[in-house]
Amino acid sequence: MKRFATLYGIRPLPFFEHLNEYRAMAITTRQTATLALAHALSAAERGLPVIPLSATKLPALRSPHRGNPDPALCRGECGLPGHGVHDATTDPAGVRALFAAAPWATGYGIACGRPPHHLIGIDLDIKTSIDSIAELRHLALRHLFTIPETVTVLTPSGGRHLWLTGPPDTVVPNSASRLAPGIDVRGTGGYLVGPGSVTAHGAYRLAPGTAHLPPAPCPRALLSLITPPAHPRSHPGPAHGDGHGLVQFVLAAQEGQRNTRLFWAACRAYENGLGDTLAAALTAAAVGAGLTEREARATIASAARLTSGRGVH
């Protein structure tokens, strides 16, 4: 074609000019998707629930409830995929079905807080003005715990994810820079990008020397820092009242505790059948404590999703 075009003075069409490039891109895309599925199946085999992710690190499947005027609290009860981390599964057939529905997936997410590992992710972000690794070391010195050797995943930006395990009866909420600047926590309802995933910014890979390690138990002192505060003794408890104590518990939150207290209180409310009744009062209390209404509603919705489907794997 190029010789013919040169001979007769015709400019080659871009399609033919770049045909090999397009083919190579298609092959690379298929290979990336195939590798993502292979890595996800390997993780599922080790008891880690997985979902397909797009190159943006977001769940690859869109919600089947998009377009609904009200936020859906469905966690997959409708039988359709597209519920984010709630789709996560360790069943090989289920994993294959999710990836078949999202052939554009380039990676996979690992659901945290789920049996059997009850995974907790410590996300150490790397920014020019923040050394999150040093921040974690300072925390360890201040609270007298040792950072254990554990599975460590290197991120494309130069950060790292530490994999830890938590007790089965402890709910660890997600948080961003609450523990310390640059340190995010991935807990129940959150997910970690799995090693071998490819994103728009690069690949996630296991740190040398950690691939053979199992996720280490979270040090007790660190666990106490990332979990909600204990149930206050003076609190009457939703089982003994109308939930007024939960509202006061949120209203009394100090800076750095607001989202955690709200999440904890909302979980207790939904567990005891008071969630819908208390939602407006909890929202108002959270706004009074310093959260925005949007933040408060999002946190309460997360608590509702979590408590409505505990035990679903």
Domain limits of the chain? Answer: 1-108, 112-227, 238-308
Mean pLDDT of the chain: 82
Q: State the Cα–Cα distance between residues 273 and 282, nearest whole angstrom.
A: 14
Alpha helix segments (H runs only) across 76-202 = 92-101, 132-143
pLDDT tens figures, 48-95: 999 999 999 999 998 888 877 665 677 788 888 998 999 999 999 999
Dist. CA 107–CA 138, nearest whole Å: 33
Comparing 29-33, 219-223, 246-250, the range with the smallest average pLDDT is 29-33
Contacts of 204 (CB under 8 A, 6+ apart): 107, 153, 154, 155, 156, 193, 194, 195, 196, 197, 198
pLDDT reported for residue 29? 67
Residue-wise pLDDT for 241-282, tens only, equals 467 788 888 888 877 778 888 888 888 888 777 888 888 889
Q: In degrees, to the nearest 5, what angle opens at C-alpha 175 toward C-alphas 169 and 178?
A: 115
Residue 111 has a pLDDT of 96
Specify the pLDDT at position 231: 47
DSSP-derived 3-state class of residue 67: coil
Tens digits of per-residue pLDDT, 6-22?
A: 433 444 444 444 434 44
Binned at pLDDT 50, 70 and 90, residue 185 comes out as very high
pLDDT band for position 308 (cuts 50, 70, 90): low
Do the Cβ atoms of 99 and 33 come closer than 8 Å? yes
Structure-token pair, residue 251: 């209203």
Query: 311 near 115, Cβ under 8 Å?
Result: no
Per-residue confidence (pLDDT) for residue 249, from 0 to 100 = 85
Contacts of 177 (CB under 8 A, 6+ apart): 183, 184
d(CA 296, CA 232): 21
Mean of pLDDT values over 118-145: 89
The candidate with the shortest Cα–Cα distance to 299, out of 267, 256, 253, is 267
What is the average pLDDT across 149-168? Answer: 95
Unique residue bearing structure tokens 């930006």: 157
